[in-house]
Structure 1
Amino acid sequence: MNEAAETLIRARRRMSNEAIAKHDAAKLRGFFAPDVKVIVGDGSLITGVDELIAAFKSQFKDPAFVAYVRTPSKITIDLSGDRAAEEGRWVADWQGENGLSGPYLAGWSRIDGRWMIDSELYVTIDA
């Protein structure tokens, strides 16, 4: 079961990266729990899927913004099979500018049989 859950989470992460690259905020909504909490790279807190989608829409209005890509390096599934932790590295890309990047941690929960992101922490590190 852990291998199947990991495969599903990796697939959902890939699809969320694709939605960001397409600047498709409506599609992104389906990846996040209603009460999601996200600490972004500068330490600001975003609470709730509506606020998060509004933040994505605002970012997508920037003509220089290209994408955020999150690349998981490790996914750990809990014994119940209903929670998971995803660790990895994120990169933000803007046209003509140096991007931002750093490590991230995402919490996933199975909600109505579907893996959803319920929390994320991004740290911006110049490296």
Structure 2
Amino acid sequence: MSSDADLAIRLRRAAFNHALAQGDLAAIGPLLALNAQLVTGTDSAVLAGRKAQLTAWKREFAARPRTIYLRKPERIVASSAEPIAFEHGTWSGTTAEQVTHGDYTAKWRQVAGEWVIEAELFLTLG
């Protein structure tokens, strides 16, 4: 399962990154579990649930200047006991004026054959 999970999660992450770059809310929704949790990197605000995250992304996409976020997975660790995995990597948020960056981890779960994000935790480093 490990190499299959690794590839599938990396492909789903690439789809998420593409959706972020394009401002495509419709593409983000299916990548998130219904009860997905996100803890932001600077103030540790919690976005609880897919709906809350999509609302936040809608605001982000409308902001000027717009920040383009990118997650770069470095390691995927798949469970041999359950259809779950951790993704560890680095993230960046880029505007014309600045780049913010840090580390993140994401917990994925395979549901009905598709990997979805259950939780993401971000740390702002600079």
Q: TM-score range by the shorter chain?
A: over 0.9
Cross-structure match for 2:93: 92
Secondary structure in structure 2 of the residue aligned to 1:15: helix
RMSD value, Cα: 1.0
Query: Could you report, residue by residue, the CA deviation over 1:17-66 in whole angstroms, capped at 9, with x for unpaired residues?
Result: 00000001121001000000100112100000000000000000013214
1:124 and 2:124 are equivalent in the alignment: yes
Cross-structure match for 2:62: 61
1:103 and 2:100 are equivalent in the alignment: no
What displacement does 1:80 show?
2.9
Structure 1: 4+ residue segments shifted above 2 A: none
1:14 and 2:14 are equivalent in the alignment: yes
AA of the residue aligned to 1:77:
A
Cross-structure match for 2:76: 75
What displacement does 1:81 show?
5.1
Say whether the 8 Å CA contact 2:60–2:67 is kept in structure 1: no
Q: What is the number of equivalent residue pairs in this alignment?
A: 125
TM-score by length of 2: 0.95
Say whether the 8 Å CA contact 1:68–1:93 is kept in structure 2: yes
Percent of aligned positions that are identical = 29
Q: Distance in 1 between matches of 2:15 and 2:89?
A: 16
Q: Which runs of 5+ in 1 are unaligned?
A: none
Secondary structure in structure 2 of the residue aligned to 1:60: helix
Q: Distance in 2 between matches of 1:125 and 1:54?
A: 25
Q: Which runs of 5+ in 2 are unaligned?
A: none
TM-score by length of 1: 0.95
AA of the residue aligned to 2:76:
I
Say whether the 8 Å CA contact 1:5–1:81 is kept in structure 2: no
1:113 and 2:109 are equivalent in the alignment: no
